[in-house]
Structure 1
């Protein structure tokens, strides 16, 4: 019985130590988005990102980071010229669940470089089209909400792969950059087009 109790106590101590190693973080920053196969006249659509995550160590210098993320995506593009042409933007906001594997490379007393990658699954919450046309120097503009679904403007579900890199200071401050490679064809079922999200992100964060 003593051996059983001792084994149980050791197991509880080890479990407590493992639990103490878990940390939590928050990242936020700027997104620069485009959509594949929308033509060469695209430019980056500027939005934002906010991500909360848990850092779960699984091996020395290696962690799994599941999280919950709000991501602004989309694109901008122009056609024609100032006298006869047009411009438009696509803005979407999605709720995503990323799960990244992150490897830390200690750099001495200041902190660690980190590199990571992993899948994400997301749900488009809202979106808006904005556009303007100019004919003979006269401009007209308008906007409307994006309809999500297989028969709408864009599919609601998105999935892909995230890549991230940055620096974590020993005090917890994070400097990070990332790239989101969408693998889901967002085009609705009533078209033979294919397009998906491409997003660069840059930001700051803190890991507690």
Structure 2
């Protein structure tokens, strides 16, 4: 493996780990400080996640593209912008990094490193919400990469911050993050049994965005 490819995989793992540390850690802190006010906790969690995304994309973008999301990596592999031989490594790095990020958040708050998610997240409304969240996220990346690539970090962070609130599912929109969130029983958790349906909905939304985005914005 070349040095540049090794750096890219490490960047995806580190970025995914830090992202999930932000997601889970801010959720834990928010619940501890919000005094039971779930709306306030969600607001804090959304702002922290959006801000974290901006920084992480800017930091790791030059090394790996800062995907941190198998759905995004699949799109760039489909477009020929990510070598197919690197795709499995990207996905493994993203999933492993995301789980490590959950463990890191737990360690910071003196919780068991891994626990089981218990929050039931199932039903047509939530699945459709994940289709919408994932569609919007990938469409944002596709359109801005074509017209204003320098704006991607800010747009992704702002979109996710908004989607925490306008989607019924609070916008997981990331198969790796969804899997990792099954290993925490904190504010951001999901029951492992509900993970596959969320992933399928996310991939469906991503596929719709890839097809429509290619037609709407054209090929580079």
- Shorter-chain TM-score: what band? under 0.3
Q: Normalised by the size of structure 1, how large is the TM-score?
A: 0.27
Normalised TM-score (structure 2): 0.26
Q: Which structure has the highest strand share of the two? A: 1
Which is higher, the Rg of structure 1 or of structure 2? Answer: 1
Which one has a larger percent helix, Structure 1 or Structure 2?
A: 2
